[in-house]
A = this chain, B = another copy of it.
Amino acid sequence: MFIEIETTSDIPIYTQLVNQLIGLIAAGDLKPNEPLPSVRSLASDLGVNMHTVNKAYHELERKKILNIIPKSGAIVNDSKTPSEEQLSTIIQLLKPIIAEAIVYGVEEAKIMSIASSLISEFKEG
């Protein structure tokens, strides 16, 4: 489990966890139906509290990325087609960043090129 937590970051630990787990799934390092480590073991590995990992897992469950089976564990959900809610989420998240890029003077073609590169980066693993 290749996860690194920066305790000095202003990004909350559980958010760093959420983002990195999403990254691992997107890159195929964590596959659909694959079980995640228990909150206790991952917390121990990372040197953080059990509840912090638990919070990240539940955030991923809220996003419908994980399926948490009570008192058993969490497995990666298999999502072939995004729900309308998920599509809307992506658009809302993307909007302020696209705006920021435009304000910085990043040209449209450059924005598209960055997006394309990032997609390839994940898809290639």
Residues of B within 8 A of A96 (CB): 19, 22-23
Oligomeric state, in copies = 2
Interface of A is mostly: helix
In the complex, A112 Cα to B94 Cα: how many Å? 11
In the complex, A93 Cα to B22 Cα: how many Å? 14
The interface bits of chain A over 87-125 (1 if a CB of B lies within 8 angstroms of the residue's CB, else 0) are: 101110111111111111110100110111011001100
Q: Hey, which bits of chain A sit against chain B, CB under 8 A?
A: 19, 22-23, 25-27, 63, 65, 79-83, 86-87, 89-91, 93-106, 108, 111-112, 114-116, 118-119, 122-123
In the complex, A26 Cα to B32 Cα: how many Å? 39
Known interface pairs A105-B79, A105-B82. Does A95 touch B118 (Cβ–Cβ under 8 Å)?
yes
Known interface pairs A19-B96, A96-B23, A108-B119. Does A90 touch B102 (Cβ–Cβ under 8 Å)?
no
In the bound complex, do residue A93 and residue B103 qualify as a contact, i.e. CB atoms below 8 Å apart? Answer: no
